[in-house]
C-alpha cells in the first residue's frame, strides 16, 4: 500500500478530460492505497491574488469529486487551506530551496511571461508549496500529468536535501504514479491539444453541462469536408472526436462509424449526433449526482470538516517530527 497525494487547483469545473485522465482512476486507486485528495486553493493565489469566487470554485470541485465516486470515508478529501501545517512545512522547506533552481523551473518561466505585472514570490516558490503538499503526508506516489513532472522532481530534490541536511532518512522520495495503458486521454473540441488546455468556451465538455450544452458543443466541434479516399488517415480534429467516442460509446458504435469513415460514407452530422447522445448518456448519472450533492450544504460541510480533521491529524504528526529534527521546541 502506497500513500498517494493529488491536488487540483480550483479554477473551474471538471471536464471529461479530468474525469478520464484522473478522477475515474482516483476512484479505483482509493480502494488499494492510502489516498489524500485535496483542493489546492493556496496555489490559486499565485495566479489569482484576488480570487473571484473561491468558495464556489472549491465547492464545485468538491461536489464533482464526490459525484465521481471519491469516497470521503475511504480517502482523505480536504481543502489545502484547512490544513495550516502545509503552510508551516512550506516555510521550513523554503529555507532550503534555492533561487536559481526555482527560476529555472519551466512553469515559472512560462508564468512570468504571462503575468509580467505579478511576478510574486509565491509563483517562484510554487514547487515548494507543492512539495509541502506531498511531503506533509510522506507520500510515495503522486498521479501527475506530464506538465507536473518537473515539479515532482523538485519535490524529490527537496525531500532528499532535507534528509541530507539534517542527516536523517525522514522523507521518502515521491514518484509519479503511472496509470500505464489504462489512462484515457481526452482531446479538446477545438481541433488540437488536450481538453481544457485552451480556454475557449467550446473546447471542453464539463461534467455538469446540460444535455443541450453538450449537443451544442459537439455540433460546433471542428471537422473537415470529409474523407476523400478509402482508408485514409484521419486528420487530428476528426481523430479527436473518435477518441472521445472511444471513451464514451460502445465498441459497436465506434466500429460502425470507423467503417463509415474508411468507406468515405460518413456523415459528420449523424456521427456527431451519436457522439453527443452517448456523452449525454455517459454523464447522466454524474449530472444527477452533481445537482443532488450540490444542494446538500450540510453534507458538504460535514465532508470538509471530516477531511480537514483527517488530513490535519497526519500533517500535525509530520510537523511535530520535522520541528524536532530541525531543532525547534514542540
Ligand atoms: N500543481 C498541480 C497542478 O497544477 C496541483 C497541485 C498542487 C498538486 N499541489 C499538488 C498535484 C500536490 C499533486 C500533488 O496541476
Q: Model confidence over 81-95: pLDDT tens digits?
A: 999 999 999 999 999
Question: Does any domain span residue 186?
Answer: no
Residue 4 has pLDDT above 80, yes or no: yes
Whether residue 191 lies inside any domain: the answer is no
Confidence class for position 138, pLDDT limits 50, 70, 90:
very high
Tell me, yes or no, whether 185 lies in a domain. Answer: no
In a domain, 181, yes or no: no
Q: Taking the C-alpha atoms of 50, 55, 58 and 61 in order, what is their torsion angle to the nearest 10 degrees? A: -120
Same domain, 132 and 268: no
Residue 136 belongs to some domain of the structure:
yes
Q: Give yes or no: residues 11 and 144 share one domain.
A: yes
Do both 133 and 40 map to the same domain? yes
Q: What is the pLDDT of residue 126?
A: 98
Q: Could you say which of 59, 141, 194, 310 is catalytic? A: 194
The response to whether residue 148 sits with its C-beta less than 6 Å from ligand 1 reads: yes
Number of structural domains in the chain: 2
pLDDT in tens, 232-254: 999 999 999 999 999 999 999 99
Whether residues 48 and 120 fall in one domain: yes
Are 163 and 71 members of one domain?
yes
Does residue 224 share a domain with residue 84? no
pLDDT at 207 over 80: yes
Looking at the structure, tell me whether residues 165 and 240 fall in a common domain: no
194 catalytically annotated: yes
* Domain of 244, in residue numbers: 197-291
* Rounded-to-integer distance, Cα 87 and Cα 311, Å: 13
Instruction: Check pocket membership of 107 for ligand 1, CB cut-off 6 A.
Output: no
**Residue nearest atom 3 in ligand 1 by C-alpha distance:** 8
Output the domain CATH number for residue 279. Answer: 1.10.240.10
Nearest protein CA to atom 11 of ligand 1, as residue: 7
Instruction: Answer whether 93's CB lies under 8 Å from 315's CB.
Output: no
The β-bridge partners of 3 are: 34
Kindly indicate the confidence band of residue 180, based on its pLDDT and cuts at 50, 70 and 90: confident
**CA separation for the pair 139, 229 (Å, rounded):** 52
**What CATH number does the domain containing 322 carry?**
3.40.50.620
**Short-list 295, 272, 145, CA closest to 219:** 272
Q: Tell whether 15 and 163 lie within a shared domain.
A: yes
Across-strand partners of 206? 15
pTM to 2 decimals?
0.94
In a domain, 100, yes or no: yes
SS3 state at 204: coil
Q: What is the pLDDT of residue 194?
A: 87
As a whole number of angstroms, the distance between CA 162 and CA 151 comes to 16
Statement to judge: residues 80 and 132 lie in one domain: yes
Residues 160 and 52 in one domain: yes
Q: Write the pLDDT tens digit of every residue in 39-77.
A: 999 999 999 888 778 999 999 999 999 999 999 999 999
- Given 13, 59, 111, 310, which residue is catalytic? 111
**Residue minimizing CA distance to atom 15 of ligand 1:** 8
In a domain, 182, yes or no: no
Residue 279 confidence class, pLDDT cut points 50, 70, 90: very high
Domain identity same for 113 and 242: no
Residues 273 and 312 in one domain: no
Confidence grade of residue 310 (pLDDT, cut at 50, 70, 90): very high
Let me know if residue 188 belongs to a domain: no
Amino acid at each position: 500500500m502506497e500513500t498517494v497525494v493529488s491536488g487540483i487547483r480550483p479554477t473551474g469545473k471538471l471536464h471529461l478530460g479530468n474525469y478520464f485522465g484522473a478522477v475515474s482512476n482516483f476512484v479505483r486507486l482509493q480502494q488499494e492505497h492510502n489516498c489524500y485528495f485535496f483542493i489546492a486553493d493556496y496555489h490559486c493565489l499565485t495566479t489569482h491574488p484576488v480570487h473571484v469566487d473561491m468558495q464556489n470554485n472549491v465547492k464545485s470541485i468538491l461536489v464533482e469529486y464526490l459525484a465521481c465516486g471519491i469516497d470521503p470515508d475511504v480517502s482523505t478529501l480536504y481543502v489545502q487551506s484547512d490544513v495550516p501545517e502545509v503552510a508551516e512545512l512550506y516555510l521550513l522547506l523554503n529555507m532550503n530551496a534555492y533561487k536559481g533552481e526555482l527560476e529555472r523551473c519551466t512553469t515559472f518561466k512560462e508564468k512570468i511571461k504571462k503575468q509580467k505585472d505579478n511576478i510574486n514570490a509565491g509563483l517562484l516558490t510554487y514547487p515548494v508549496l507543492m512539495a509541502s503538499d506531498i511531503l506533509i503526508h510522506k507520500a510515495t506516489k503522486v498521479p501527475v500529468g506530464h506538465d507536473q513532472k518537473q515539479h515532482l522532481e523538485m519535490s524529490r530534490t527537496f525531500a532528499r536535501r532535507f534528509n541530507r541536511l539534517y542527516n536523517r532518512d525522514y522523507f521518502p522520495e515521491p514518484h509519479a504514479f503511472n496509470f500505464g495503458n489504462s489512462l484515457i486521454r481526452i482531446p479538446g473540441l477545438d481541433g488540437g491539444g488536450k481538453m481544457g488546455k485552451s480556454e475557449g468556451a467550446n473546447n471542453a465538455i464539463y461534467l455538469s453541462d446540460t444535455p443541450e450544452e453538450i449537443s451544442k458543443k459537439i455540433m460546433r466541434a471542428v471537422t473537415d469536408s470529409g474523407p476523400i479516399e478509402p482508408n485514409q488517415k484521419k486528420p487530428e480534429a476528426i481523430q479527436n472526436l473518435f477518441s472521445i467516442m472511444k471513451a464514451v460509446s460502445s465498441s459497436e458504435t465506434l466500429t460502425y462509424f470507423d467503417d463509415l469513415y474508411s468507406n468515405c460514407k460518413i456523415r459528420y452530422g449523424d456521427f456527431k449526433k451519436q457522439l453527443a447522445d452517448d456523452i449525454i448518456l455517459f454523464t447522466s448519472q454524474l449530472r444527477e449526482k452533481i445537482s443532488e450533492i450540490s444542494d446538500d450544504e450540510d453534507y458538504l460541510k460535514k465532508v470538509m470538516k471530516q477531511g480537514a480533521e483527517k488530513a490535519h491529524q497526519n500533517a500535525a504528526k509530520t510537523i511535530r517530527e520535522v520541528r524536532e529534527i530541525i531543532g525547534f521546541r514542540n
